[in-house]
Amino acid sequence: MTIELKSLNLNDLTGIVTGLGKPAYAAKNIYRWIYKRRMEDFANMTDIAKLLREHFQRNISNTNLKIIETQRAKDDCVKFLFELHDSNTVEAVLIPHEGRLTLCVSTQVGCKMDCQFCCTAKQGFTRNLEAYEIVEQVLKSNDYARDVLKYRTDDSEIRAVTNIVYMGMGEPLDNIDSVVKSIEILSEDFGPGFGMRKITVSTCGLIPKVEEFKKRCAAKLAVSLNAADEKTRSELMPINRAYPMMELLQTIKKLPLKKFEFVTIEYILFKGFNDRMEDAKNLAKLLKDLPIKLNLIPFNAHEYAPGFSAPDERTLHDFYGYLASKGVICNVRYSRGADIAAACGQLKSRHGKRDA
């Protein structure tokens, strides 16, 4: 089986280097070349021993993703269509907002979860992404943001992206090994250097994987709830039949969170379906005493879910107002990039109109 360089965390790479009789610091140097200096060719890594460079050239692959399409929205979000080595495609989205540049990455080609409102679900499931394919989305998007869009962070000449959210195509915890490995790579100080507080992984609620994830990884967790009763959630999200909402909330309550750490609850609002005052009251009761903050997200319409629409502003205002009055830490999140189908729930393996 081919070893992919950008699927190796620093410990993996150190093991290969020391196994060849070279000092461990050489692995850190290679990491710097790849992630800090953005050098892809082993031959040009001039402070790496020739034996190592030749070994890596013969035995380690360094596969790149190809950006085959970009689209820029009216609100300056940028959507990328990446082509994978097997000609499958995935999308990722850059979202600028108030001094931050967030990248939403994909973890699978398609998805198995069949959420009724999600565009990705309608294409079915093809395969999981490897860790390097997730890492490459970040690297290529960051290069584009830095070199084409001219974004910069205050503390880095290399990094333009400030935050990463695993909220693109696929269910991240259905691909937990690649997701955790990619986070290990992206958070490595000798590599991209993203802090764990800058990385969020979203899940529809695979309960055993939620528990496993928090044991293996310190990144932030978000859970898509989207209903305040079991029946409604099962209609929206078939996964609820296997992992019921009440069990999921109990799991969240028992997670070994650090002081001041919380889980983000995502609640997409659908007109006449889960946006009634009765839903708000039930939701407030469900979330009481849980270590959470709540994001309310008006539904983003698309052709694959014609039966759903967003609530009107008055309904949204009243829903939010009731929850806030009951002490729920709550925000309304208006999705970005809807005019290029880059908003929450709209990603799919497809071609759109190319940027000029």
Q: What residues are labeled active site?
A: 91, 344
Cα gap 110→187, rounded to integer Å = 26
Sole residue written with tokens 């799991």: 251
CB 277 within 8 A of CB 325: no
CA distance 141 to 136: 8
* Token code pair at residue 155: 């503390």
Output b/e per residue, 244-254; b: 16+ Cβ within 10 A: bbeebbebbee
Q: Provide the β-strand partners of residue 279.
A: none
